[in-house]
Structure 1
Amino acid sequence: MSLRLFVRSFSELCITVGALIILFVLYMLFWTGVKAAGATEGEIDTLRSRWAQGAVFVPTPAPASDSGPGPAPAPGPVPAAPAYRDGKPFAMMYIPRFGKGWEWPVLENTAVRTLQKGLGHYAGTARLGETGNFAVAGHRRTYGDPFKDFPRLRPGDAVVLTDGTTWFTYRIGKRPYRTVPGDTAVIDPVPRKSGFDGPGRYLTLTTCEPEWGSSHRLIVWAHLDATQPVTDGRPAAFHS
């Protein structure tokens, strides 16, 4: 009798554990995607609303004063761009290799909560389009799977970003590189294994490896290839 009770209890426990596992898998595969879709759309709407209102920093030199005859005074210093706001969106990223509908907001920092709403800019790395290394992280799986197709990236592929006033087209230099977590050299101003030589305007993308794990990281590096005002329309990289 006690053996029968043990077998029945063990069977019920297995069923309960199995149900919990199924629920967890459904949560990871489905519900995180639903949450990410809503959060991501909210961040995109925030950006587009801000840009529509013209709330984008455009540096302009201070006007020279009218001092009459004689040489004009030197232009005043260009004001520094405001810092990216922690946890807030400031740019949109497009990777044509991933399809026409692939677009994700880029937010400041790589905290867990931030990466649930979009891609995260590594705080302390270069600003978009500036000299140095503009480094960005994103989920491979869960929360919308933004970098699900990361291994498909190839040399020459375009990564296009905009801050609302300018299009920045970066070109990937090498196939994805596999490394271990904590290798901060991959986001150095001139990453050692990127193939780039000397200072430049670089982009680093990072994500988890393997697809459903995090024992390693996949990295790609790119260099700034072209810029143009958003008023000129989308860059040619979208059509190549």
Structure 2
Amino acid sequence: MSVRLIVRTFSELCITVGALIILFVVYVLFWTGVEAAGATEGQIDGLQDRWARGSVSAPAPTVSPSSSPTPTAPASTAPAPAAYADGKAFAMLYIPRLGKGWEWPVLENTEARTLQKGLGHYRGTALLGATGNFAVAGHRRTYGDPFKDFPKLRPGDAVIVTDGTTWFTYRIDKKPYRTVPSDIGVIAPVPRKSGFDGPGRYLTLTTCDPEWGSSHRLIVWAHLDATQPVTDGRPAAFHS
């Protein structure tokens, strides 16, 4: 084989590999966002349709605004609500700090295919508004980049969630905490390292770190600050 043929073959191989790399980058940076936009819109439309037909769970008890990081849930004799349907959307989550139009559906489980459609609720963690830790995961990058700006979250920021009947306003207590993926204590009923020292109604958000990697996780914790019926309009926290 001549040197010229070797050089030409190697050049063609480099061009092919380069083209594949470019296609992969386009897929990651652009096409996954397109896919996510369509999937997320479908989840939101489905939720709104169910809510319009009244297919939602009963609202949780009202919580008055409080500065306490460990509010205690009022006693109730009502039966515990059923678990969420696996892989299905059941709530909408809003974080005003991340933008006026920032809104994502929350689905049950944190499997890869679920997180391509929105945010995922960790199986086995508390139900929305209940005593314990309502824990939610989302992509930092790809599939719409829901938590791209996660490091901007600060104490006092509102995380607002609705199940179609009730608005739940949580308040973040600390700046994002960095840990490793195996640290499951961060989604415990009283999350490890959160600063909470007893039972309460908490929310945990998790995402990958660094921005384009997954060697670590970023975590924020919040406590339930207030609830109100959706018939009362949007909470003031949307504008604070």
Q: Give the TM-score of the pair, scaled to structure 2.
A: 0.91
SS in 2 for 1:174: coil
In structure 1, list runs of 5 or more residues that go unmatched: 61-76
The match for 1:196 is 196
> Separation in 1 of the partners of 2:27 and 2:150?
23
> Separation in 2 of the partners of 1:211 and 1:57?
36
Q: 1:20 corresponds to which letter in structure 2?
A: L
Tell me which structure has the larger Cα radius of gyration. 1
> Separation in 2 of the partners of 1:203 and 1:78?
22
> Separation in 2 of the partners of 1:103 and 1:211?
20
**Percent identity between the aligned chains?**
83
> Separation in 1 of the partners of 2:124 and 2:26?
36
In structure 2, list runs of 5 or more residues that go unmatched: 61-76
The match for 1:210 is 210
SS in 2 for 1:228: strand
Q: 2:105 corresponds to which letter in structure 1?
A: P
Runs of 4+ displaced beyond 2 Å: 77-80
SS in 2 for 1:140: coil
In the TM superposition, 1:29-40 aligns within 5 A as 29-40=29-40
The match for 1:143 is 143
Q: Give the TM-score of the pair, scaled to structure 1.
A: 0.91
SS in 1 for 2:80: coil
In the TM superposition, 1:1-240 aligns within 5 A as 2-58=2-58, 78-240=78-240
> Separation in 2 of the partners of 1:150 and 1:57?
30
Q: 2:185 corresponds to which letter in structure 1?
A: A
Aligned residues: 224
Higher relative CO (Cα under 8 Å, sequence separation at least 6) belongs to 2
> Separation in 1 of the partners of 2:126 and 2:161?
14
Compute the displacement of 1:82 (Å): 2.3
Cα deviation digits, residues 25-67 of structure 1 (max 9, x gap): 000011000000000000000100000111112279xxxxxxx
Cα deviation digits, residues 95-151 of structure 1 (max 9, x gap): 000111100000000000000000000000000000000000000000000000000
